[in-house]
Every structure is written in C-alpha cells, then in structure tokens.
Homo-oligomer: A and B are copies of this chain.
Amino acid sequence: MSRPTIAAVAQAAGVSVASVSRVLNGLPATEEMTERVQRVVEQLGYVPDSRARSLKVGRTFQLTLAVADVGNPVYVTMMRAVEEVVSAAGYRLVVTATGADVVDEVALVRGMARGYADGLLISPIRVDEDLVKSIRECEVPVVVAGNVPARAGVDTVRANSPKGMLLAVDHLVATGRTNIAFLNGPADTVPGTARAKGFADALRKHDLEPAAVAEATDFTFAAGRAAAPDLLAAAGVASVNSSGVRGSASAAPFDAVICANDLLAVGLMHELAAAELRVPEDVAVVGMDDSELAEQSFPPLTSVNLGSAERGRRAAELLLARIEDNDRRPRRIVVQPSLSVRRSAP
C-alpha cells in the first residue's frame, strides 16, 4: 500500500480536502474539526508530499550552497554557519561542490531556473563575464559570498583580505620579522588577486620588499607542499637581487611567510620541516581563514580570521531576506578580519 494522500485523510475523516489542508497549515478551524483531522492524520501516518506542495506554492524550502571544495576547512566553517541560519528558518540545505571551474559554476547558476531550490548562495573563486551575466539573470535570488562586480546586481558578503593581510604584516613586523615571503594560491582567482595586491600594499606601507613570492596551483595542502621549493628558490634569487646584508643567523632565505590560506600554510610547514627549518624560530608562518585546521596543525597556526562563519551567517540571512522580498536593492557587506595569534608566529 502506498502513502496516504490528503484525499485519503479527508475521506477517512469524513471532511473535505480543503479542511484537512487548513488544519495542517494552522488556518482557522473549529476545535472539533482540528481534533478530528489530527486523529486521522496520526492514525494513517499521513505526511504531506513536499513535491506537490512545492509545485503549488512555488517554493521548495531548499537553498543551495555552492563552494569550490568541500575538503577545504574554511568551507566547513562557512557551511556550519549557513546551515544553522537556514535550518532555523525551516529550509534544507543542498551543498554542491563546483570545483574550481567557472563553467561548472555558470551551469549551476543557470540550472537554478529549474526551480529545485528557492535561492543560491555561491562562493565563486573565479569570476568571468558569463558568470556575472548568469547571476544577474538568475531566476531565483542569489547571494555571493565573495567578490563579484556590483553590476551583477546581487547581495554580496565579502572578506576584507587586504586589511587582513595588513594585520598579518603588522604583526610580523611588530615581532621583528621584516624579510617576509608570500605563498599565494592561483593568481587568476578572485582571492588570489586580492591577496597578492593586499600583500604588496601591506609591505609597501612598511617600506619592505617581498622576500619571495610563489604561486601554488591550487588552494590545497598538496599544492602548498608542491609550491614550497618554488618559494625557496624565489627567495634565493630575491636575496641576491636585493641586498646582501641580511643579518639573519639562520640559513632561512626569509624569516616569515604569509600564505593565502591555511591549507597552503600547513603544506608549506611540512616542507619547511623537511628542509630543517624550524617554525617559528627560523621562519614564522601565517595562514589565512583561521579554519579548524589552524588550531589543529602543529605548531598551531597563526592565521588571519577573515570571518568565514560570520560571512556565512550574514550571507544566509541576506538570502532569506531576499526570498521574502526580492525588491530590496542589493547590499554589499564587508566583514572585517582579525588575527588569531598562535605558535607558528607568536
């Protein structure tokens, strides 16, 4: 026997389907009607079909969260925050991994027109004209956690990574590190460019030259390890190119490294250890994102907290608000960073 429908309940209770629906949705009904319907519902184990309900009311009560990589702990943090807000509002969360590829993202945004979700929260790491266009034209509300041009016409919640970068450099300089290297992720990504610029600006503010810059192929642990030799090589060149009077007692070609995210930082630390460089004695390491991994790594990683949890929370709130009222003009929220100092750069 199949699941009972609302008609079955109505028949068993000797009332109309409309009455059953009303009782179930808490619309006014007499005491007796309510009681009667509820007994039958209980008895038959009736559960309304959300497919049918979706079709009629035009809402699925599902929201989609699209991130590049579910293995990146920063997205775990964000996902937790989003899930909390979203489920409190009675929505389910569909989590999708887009990979780093912008065409997948575009396909996803276009696909939202199918109506399986009431809104989309996306955190794109590469942005092109196609993506902006598809976001602007998307049938359902979209909120971007990240940086996207204003002409996309959507709510955005982004981090202030230049400011975060400055916090990191300030801290390193204040603790006597002036020979600072930078391990970036792919420079053709949105966070990659933002962080590169932030690093350059922050160093300029302190009248410093970069000790070395390298670019990992991805924002992952493996890419961080793989890029470490590049960084060391780049430093070799840089130290020759600049001045010869670096008086560091250690053999390290730089005394600090800032990494574009925590995974890269942890990957790099492994390679530093392999090269017999001690963290933080020889090289201080600073990550970005302040994810759970920063706390778990050894030594615990000093990391720039770019407010992922808050970004997730606020993005989710914006999305819910926009679903209620799509006529509000787009808001662009910037979340301020802070620095979590741990042992890798005390």
Contacts and interface: CB of A to CB of B under 8 A. Distances in A.
A236 B293 CA distance: 31
A277 interface: no
B83 A79 contact: no
B298 A49 contact: no
Contacts of A292: 71, 221
A89 interface: no
Nearest to A47: B113
Interface stretch (A93-101, A202-210, A227-235, A319-327): A93-101
B297 A297 contact: yes
Contacts of A315: none
A296 B262 CA distance: 11
Interface string A51-62: 110110010101
A111 B61 CA distance: 14
B60 A71 contact: no
Contact of A298 (B50, B52, B269): B269
Given A116-B62, A296-B221, A92 B83 contact: no
A130 to B, nearest CB: 15
A: contact size bracket: 35 or more
Contact of A96 (B48, B93, B139, B295): B93
Interface string A112-153: 011110000000000000000000000100000000000000
Contacts of A47: 110-111, 113-114
Interface string A19-57: 000000000000000000000000001011111101100
Nearest to A65: B95
27 contacts: A3-B113, A3-B115, A47-B114, A48-B114, A49-B55, A50-B114, A50-B115, A51-B54, A54-B54, A62-B116, A70-B80, A71-B73, A71-B76, A92-B94, A92-B96, A92-B116, A93-B94, A93-B95, A93-B96, A94-B94, A267-B296, A269-B298, A270-B298, A270-B300, A293-B296, A296-B297, A297-B297
Given A51-B54, A62-B94, A293-B293, 15 more contacts: A3-B139, A47-B113, A48-B114, A49-B114, A51-B58, A52-B55, A55-B55, A60-B116, A62-B116, A71-B76, A71-B292, A95-B95, A221-B296, A266-B296, A267-B296
Interface of A: 3, 45, 47-52, 54-55, 58, 60, 62, 70-71, 73, 76, 79-80, 83, 92-97, 110-111, 113-116, 139, 221, 263, 266-267, 269-270, 273, 292-293, 295-298, 300
The 7 closest A-B pairs by CB, nearest first: A298-B298, A47-B113, A51-B54, A50-B114, A95-B95, A51-B55, A50-B116
